[in-house]
Structure 1
Amino acid sequence: MKRKILITFLVILLILNLTGCVAAPELPTDRFLAEEAVYNYWQAIISQ
């Protein structure tokens, strides 16, 4: 169940990034760091 939610969440993020629909446009570096933080957070949850 957790894995399905994670995949859905990541797909939604990918679609939003590809279409350019972001809530608050940031500098590319800031956005990359935020995406990296979210990815690492979900990886930690999965690996528990």
Structure 2
Amino acid sequence: MAKKVSKKVAVKQKLKSVKREIKQRLNKIDKQEGKVKKLKKKLKKMK
């Protein structure tokens, strides 16, 4: 019984860490896109 429980806990922890990683990656992408948008606006103003 104990082994089954620990396995479930391990799976839950793995899911949590995976979700956290995905969130961090999405945040990085969002920041990069934000920079690109700002640069595009600057370019439009310069023209």
Compute the TM-score of the two structures, normalised by the length of structure 1.
0.46
Higher relative contact order (CA 8 A, sep 6+): 1
Larger helix share, 1 or 2:
2
Q: Pick the structure with greater CA Rg.
A: 2
